[in-house]
Amino acid sequence: MRGDAFSSGMVASDAHDVPDVDLAFEDNEYLPAVAQDAESGDVLMLAYVTREALDRTRETGLAHYYSRSRDELWQKGETSGNVQHLKEIRVDCDGDALLYVIEQDGGACHTGFQSCFHRTIDGEVVGERVFDPDDVYE
Amino acid sequence: MRGDAFSSGMVASDAHDVPDVDLAFEDNEYLPAVAQDAESGDVLMLAYVTREALDRTRETGLAHYYSRSRDELWQKGETSGNVQHLKEIRVDCDGDALLYVIEQDGGACHTGFQSCFHRTIDGEVVGERVFDPDDVYE
């Protein structure tokens, strides 16, 4: 019973009747990945990953993404030094979205804010600015 | 100076030289929206919105999304009762991703878990099951 396995809490997929984690890369060239600060729980950014970017993230322990506009794999913080140290990767129920739980060096946003989500939809700035992008990007 | 406005913390966009919040609906039919629990900070789900779904969310105070597979606007919890009460909407720096900060009735995941991100990429179940989907969905 799927329900029994689910209700038993922290279980390994190979030990119980929990479905394997299938990722929807066959139907999607890219999947969205949300980066969340492991300590504060803040949502820091959303970017996209290919299978290769995901593999590189797991191999290195540093968050990698895929830029759809530049059409290239990139390591977060490669230029700025604001790398993301991976603590855990979670997958959603449909296997078409990822959650990177990370420790963020510096700030996640290229504008200098800790989070890319530092504005409300009304334009109010509610996030914290943690670095000056002029000091980081040439 | 953009930097001055940013470093002054919580400011309204019309009162300072902060750029208005432009949303990238011209270049994207759908934008991803991440739902985060206002109290726990848990990331609960990722779905997509059209401009109409976003407008409906703001009008009603209940999270609405757009199903790309069913090609229709939907209100989260319309069937299950597990609605999401909107506390705040945030927009990322590029205007191409949204963060719904919400209070979740019941659980967010159709499988009965509090969060759709209840598994690690290795298949380990780390989330909490909060309802039985058989009781909720017919």
Query: What are the pLDDT digits (tens) for A21-33?
Result: 899 999 999 999 9
Question: What range does the domain containing B78 cover?
Answer: 21-136
Within-domain flag for B3: no
pLDDT computed for residue A138 by the predictor: 67
Closest CA to A78 of A55, A53, A101: A53
Question: Is residue A69, in this structure, part of any structural domain at all?
Answer: yes
Does A93 carry a binding-site annotation?
A: yes
A116-135 average pLDDT score: 95
Q: Does residue B10 lie in a domain region?
A: no
Sheet holding B43-49, edge to edge: A119-120, B84-91, B98-104, B31-37, B43-49
Residue ranges for chain B with pLDDT beneath 70:
1-20, 138
Q: Is residue B52 part of a domain?
A: yes
Tens digit of each residue's pLDDT (9 = 90 or more) over A64-111: 999 999 999 999 999 999 999 999 999 999 999 999 999 999 999 999
Determine, yes or no, domain membership for B65. Answer: yes
pLDDT of residue B11: 39
A6-15, A46-55, B94-103: which has the minimum mean pLDDT? A6-15
Structural domain count of chain B = 1
CATH number at residue B82: 3.10.20.810
Q: What is the dihedral of CA B62, B67, B73, B78, to 10 degrees?
A: -50
Interface subset of A 3-32, CB within 8 angstroms of B: 3, 5-7, 9-14, 18-21, 32
Q: Is residue A49 part of a domain?
A: yes
Q: Does residue A130 lie in a domain region?
A: no
Which residues in chain A have Cβ-Cβ distances shorter than 8 Å to B99? 43, 117
**Assigned domain for A8 exists:** no
